[in-house]
């Protein structure tokens, strides 16, 4: 019997949490004949490999280094019509896949489903599918697009389920990306022009730890600086790809704004500015999509830093990596 959903578990080098992730995928209330699990990783470890074999998990080894290439490989192996992602350090609620199947049966025209997530230490109370929790959203105007961003309908890869054929259609650019894959997949769904929805319930649980590439809180300032400098160039590449694909669209205008802000981030955390930021570019970006209030102090800090780089280095580190930096990451 062909599975409806393919769960794709990606594990890049980290070995501490993946067994918990796999067990949460194996412990679903949905019949196992209705879904498959694909594990893609870049290492061999006896305990993990044995568990995968025992649990009939499709295990793929790769030495490729980009997340886009990983998703292309996993997608090519997947038999399900829908792909549901799970990072190695996250967990699925036991009822998640059963609820996803109910959503798919409710509206066969849906191509993208996003669910809420919470920090781990989950309490797995029984969850039932509720039609009142299905929230459709459109991205055909600025108001709707900004609403989807504010509500984070793209956030956390482990909260995303998408039709496989949509991902395959845009795989030529997805395969080139690295990091920030959740928004890239969200963008693919946006570009399809088809139905997208938010399921208004928590079906995913995530860990907060220093090994996470998306965690920029805690740790020493040099460690945070190094992490940012390693990740941001990939995000810049992603935004450039999205912008060039959809020039003239709302998505492209947003990508342009994010491209500018990410270049500014990298300049702030680098010993020397990496990109020359033209003020006209900033004004053009603001005019295109509008601006979140926190973008203003961000720009002020950037230009103040250009004048007094060494004098305020410690001050802006404190601001960027604590309150303002965290809020910007959550809201822009």
Question: Does 47 lie in the same domain as 188?
Answer: yes
More confident residue, 3 or 64: 3
Question: Does 110 lie in the same domain as 159?
Answer: yes
Mean pLDDT of 240-261: 78
Among 181, 206, 231, residue at a domain's last position = 206
Classify residue 211: in a domain, yes or no: no
Which of the 8 DSSP states describes residue 121? S
Distance, CA of 222 to CA of 226 (rounded, Å): 6
Q: What is the pLDDT of residue 329?
A: 45
Question: Does 157 lie in the same domain as 98?
Answer: yes
Cα–Cα distances in angstroms (integers) from residue 159 to residues 55, 152, 196, in the given order: 23, 11, 13
Q: Residue 194 contacts by C-beta under 8 Å, 6 or more apart in sequence?
A: 109, 110, 111, 112, 166
Are the beta carbons of 9 and 88 closer than 8 angstroms? yes
Are the beta carbons of 166 and 194 closer than 8 angstroms? yes
Classify residue 251: in a domain, yes or no: yes
Question: Does 238 lie in the same domain as 177?
Answer: no
Among 176, 206, 236, residue at a domain's last position = 206
Classify residue 183: in a domain, yes or no: yes
Among 206, 238, 268, residue at a domain's last position = 206
Classify residue 30: in a domain, yes or no: yes
More confident residue, 140 or 244: 244
Question: Does 321 lie in the same domain as 225?
Answer: yes
Predicted TM-score of the model (pTM): 0.84
> How do residues 10-42 score in pLDDT, each as one tens digit?
998 888 999 999 999 999 999 999 999 999 999
Are the beta carbons of 201 and 114 closer than 8 angstroms? no
Q: What is the CATH number of the domain that holds 76?
A: 3.90.550.10
Q: What is the pLDDT of residue 326?
A: 46
Are the beta carbons of 42 and 12 closer than 8 angstroms? yes
Classify residue 76: in a domain, yes or no: yes
Q: What is the pLDDT of residue 274?
A: 79
Q: Residue 165 contacts by C-beta under 8 Å, 6 or more apart in sequence?
A: 81
Question: Does 276 lie in the same domain as 191?
Answer: no
Domain count, the chain: 2
Residue 163 reports pLDDT greater than 60: yes
Classify residue 213: in a domain, yes or no: no
Mean pLDDT of 232-240: 86
Question: Does 37 lie in the same domain as 114?
Answer: yes
- Least confident range from 53-57, 134-138, 259-263, 327-331: namely 327-331
Question: Does 240 lie in the same domain as 108?
Answer: no
Model confidence band, residue 298 (pLDDT cutoffs 50, 70, 90):
low
- Most confident stretch, 46-60, 136-150, 303-317: 46-60
Structural domain containing residue 321: 221-331
Residue 315, token pair as written in the block: 């001050």
């Amino acid at each position: 019997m062909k599975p409806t959903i393919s769960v794709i578990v990606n594990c890049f080098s980290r070995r501490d949490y993946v067994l918990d992730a796999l067990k949460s995928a194996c412990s679903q209330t949905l019949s196992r004949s209705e879904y498959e699990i694909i594990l893609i990783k870049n290492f061999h470890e006896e305990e993990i490999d044995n568990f995968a074999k025992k649990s009939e998990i499709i295990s793929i080894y790769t030495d490729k280094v980009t997340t886009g290439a990983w998703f292309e490989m996993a997608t090519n192996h997947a038999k399900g019509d829908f792909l549901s992602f799970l990072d190695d350090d996250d967990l699925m609620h036991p009822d998640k896949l059963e609820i996803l199947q109910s959503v798919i049966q409710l509206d066969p025209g849906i191509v993208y489903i996003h669910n809420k997530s919470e920090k781990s230490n989950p309490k797995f109370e029984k969850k039932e599918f509720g039609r009142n929790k299905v929230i459709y959203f459109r991205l055909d105007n600025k108001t709707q697009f900004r609403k989807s961003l504010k509500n984070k309908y793209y956030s956390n890869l482990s909260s995303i389920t998408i039709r496989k054929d949509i991902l395959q259609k845009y795989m030529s650019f997805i395969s080139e990306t690295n990091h920030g894959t959740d928004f890239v997949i969200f963008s693919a769904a946006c570009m399809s022009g088809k139905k997208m929805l938010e399921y208004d319930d928590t079906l995913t649980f995530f860990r907060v730890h220093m090994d996470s590439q998306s965690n920029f809180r805690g740790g020493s300032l040099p460690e945070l600086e190094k992490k940012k400098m390693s990740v941001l160039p990939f995000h810049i590449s992603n935004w450039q790809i999205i912008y060039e694909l959809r020039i003239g669209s709302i998505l492209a205008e947003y990508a342009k704004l994010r491209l500018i802000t990410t270049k500014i981030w990298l300049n702030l955390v680098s010993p020397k500015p990496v990109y020359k930021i033209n003020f006209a570019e900033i004004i053009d970006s603001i005019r295109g999509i509008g601006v979140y209030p926190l973008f203003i102090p961000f720009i002020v800090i950037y230009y103040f830093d250009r004048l007094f780089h060494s004098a305020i280095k410690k001050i802006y580190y404190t601001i960027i990596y604590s309150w303002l930096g965290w809020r910007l990451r959550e809201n822009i």
